[in-house]
Amino acid sequence: MKHREDGMEGNAKLIESLYEKAVDYGVTSFELVKLKALDKTSEVASSFLPNAIVFVVLASFLLLVNVGLALWLGEILGKVFLGLFIVAGLYGVIALILHFFLHHWMKKLFQNYIIKLMFK
């Protein structure tokens, strides 16, 4: 009877050891997934920030160029508000073209860019 109890006790220790290893493996795997997610998130964010800074500087430049263009056109036409309306109308037409003809293409472009960053 002693031999059978030793065998059962050995099996219990073996199962307990396997269980502990499985738990350790699960915890390690979860930590690895968290670290990989953190790595990709930081990579995407660090790639986004320089692009955002360039975008803000470029947007400021374009804003000032457009105000200057509007004021110049307004001076040529004799009324400042006419130059502002012409420039605003030009941007309205561009926005409509982008929305109706290039919306799907731009959406795919951004999706592919984000996916490329995630799997880089």
- Confidence tier at 44 by pLDDT (50, 70, 90): confident
Supply the pTM of this predicted model. 0.55
Ranges of each domain in the chain: 2-118
Q: CB neighbours of 44 closer than 8 A, spacing ≥ 6? A: 114, 117, 118
More confident residue, 5 or 96: 96
CA neighbor of 44 nearest in space, from 113, 105, 109: 113
Query: What is the torsional sign of CA 40, 43, 47, 52?
Result: positive
